Amino acid sequence: MIEFTLERNKIRLKCNDFESIREHFSVKDETARFRLKGRSRFAAPSRVYCITPTGLFDYGLFYDILAYIKQERPNDQITVSTGISEIVKPGLKQCRLYDNLTHELRDYQIQSINQALNYGRGVLKMGTGAGKTLTIASLLMSVYASNKSFKCLIIVPDLSLVNQTYSDFEEYNVLFKSTRWTGKIKPDLTSNVIIANLGILQSRFNDYDFLKYVDILVIDECHKLKKSNKINKIVESITTNNKFGLTGTLPDNKIDEWNILGKLGNVIYDKDSHSLREENYLTNVNVSFLNIKYKTKPKYDKASNNYRVELDFIYSNEFRNNVIKNICGKFNNNSLVLVNHLVHGDALYDKLVKYSDKQVFFVKGEMEVEVRDKIKSIMEVNNNVICIAMSSIFSTGINIKNIHMIIFASGGKSFVRTIQSIGRGLRLHGDKDKLVIIDIVDNLKYGKRHAEKRQDIYKLEKINYKSTEIVEI
């Protein structure tokens, strides 16, 4: 006998022996060894479980757990208590697709919206450039058509995306009233839709009680909803069952993936960037690995943080930075150079400003949002612009169609960041027939390992790549 019951804001699994089920929904926590203190810090990694020892788990994992039980225990009787179905699949009742916007919906957008209306919660997994903001706008207009007083909170990663989403809604000519919530702008609580970034929510969450009355929660770029983030408590405290996440890709970290699905619901629609490219909704992309072989190598030793030693070596390497400068100088369209550290960005900016006759910008964290938006506008209407940017800023949500080349200047192995970074240049624009990616590979201890990880990502995404070797003179 297996029973699912409601308890507080969780579902409880009851059965005689559920340890095998609990074990299946668990993974090794590889970071545990670094958190433990004393001699025990060398112990084997602990495990993270989606189901507590007493059988509690998040709503969004219900279907996955149920499917596993049905597969493994086909003869067991399963009972699901009243109310669970309404929570895990609440639907958006009496809502029909609204498509009378200034931008025509694509077939896959229509499919994703219909899935959202049918399920009422879940994750819409749509490749970067798929038009997620337009999808959100039409979904909310579908709700507005039957409920003029609905309340929705949209959470986006940063302030720039607050302004961009608000501006996009105006461009789409939505009928519902939207407002921004930033450090400088207080939200108009009479609005149907409030657009806020993660930072303002985490710092000012208790300033307004309107969150008690939210009918729909939408989290854009929901892959940023990591288990360790403070925002999780906010998501849980918003009691509506209608919760949606949108992302181009889920984390490859199972702990964070389960956290997202648990809070928001299962993946209810999936349209990857490969499909979008095949159907000509996005431009093609070619990757060139530029493998740099150095005359000298960093001095590694047991007493140092050798990864840090390697980074310091490559970021200050004149030959390497000159290679990037020369590539940007010879390219005849707009380039985006992604870096992971300020010192590297500063070094490249100084070099490009001095030796290039092109417009050169460096977008970093302390830059005002208005300045960032101005740079984006310049790039949309001009060619031969070089934009150096911190990956943490430009890897998600930045919509610049007129990018023809991206240089991965700092390596790295993050699955999400790599995919999201590629997405910055996939949008169609004028006569752009392809996106060129130059992936700098350092023929060093960590550089080679990370390049192998990125190569696996390109294979997974079905992106063509080639490798060229260059030797330091």
Of 86, 105, 120, the domain-final residue: 86
Nearest to residue 89, comparing CAs of 120, 66, 124?
120
Q: pLDDT at position 392, please?
A: 78
Q: pLDDT at position 394, please?
A: 67
Is there a single domain that holds both residue 77 and residue 93?
A: no
119-162 pLDDT, tens digit per residue, is: 999 999 998 889 999 999 999 999 999 999 999 999 998 888 89
Identify the segments of the chain with pLDDT beneath 70.
30-45, 394-399
Is there a single domain that holds both residue 80 and residue 94?
A: no
Is there a single domain that holds both residue 35 and residue 101?
A: no
Is there a single domain that holds both residue 416 and residue 270?
A: no
Is there a single domain that holds both residue 161 and residue 292?
A: no
Q: pLDDT at position 395, please?
A: 57
For 402, the domain range is: 283-471
78-80 β-sheet, strand order: 56-57, 10-14, 2-7, 78-80
Q: What is the pTM of this model?
A: 0.84
Q: pLDDT at position 117, please?
A: 97
C-alpha distances out from residue 402 to 80, 329, 435, Å: 52, 17, 10
Of 245, 276, 307, the domain-final residue: 276
Q: pLDDT at position 259, please?
A: 93
Q: How far apart are CA 422 and CA 159, in angstroms?
A: 22
Is there a single domain that holds both residue 260 and residue 295?
A: no
167-217 pLDDT, tens digit per residue, is: 999 999 999 999 999 888 889 999 999 999 988 988 887 777 777 889 999
- What CATH number does residue 79 fall under? 3.30.780.20
Is there a single domain that holds both residue 246 and residue 291?
A: no
Q: Which two tokens stand for residue 300?
A: 């590694």
- What CATH number does residue 451 fall under? 3.40.50.300
CA dihedral 251, 254, 259, 265 (to 10 degrees): 80
Q: pLDDT at position 278, please?
A: 92
Is there a single domain that holds both residue 127 and residue 16?
A: no
Q: How far apart are CA 230 and CA 329, in angstroms?
A: 43
Is there a single domain that holds both residue 206 and residue 59?
A: no
Q: How far apart are CA 244 and CA 153, in angstroms?
A: 11
Is there a single domain that holds both residue 333 and residue 377?
A: yes
CA angle centred on 106, ends 164 and 402, rounded to 5°: 45
Is there a single domain that holds both residue 305 and residue 356?
A: yes
Domains held by the chain: number: 3
Q: pLDDT at position 99, please?
A: 93
3 state SS of 301:
coil
Of 254, 276, 298, the domain-final residue: 276
Is there a single domain that holds both residue 126 and residue 250?
A: yes
C-alpha distances out from residue 175 to 165, 178, 190, 462, Å: 15, 9, 14, 40
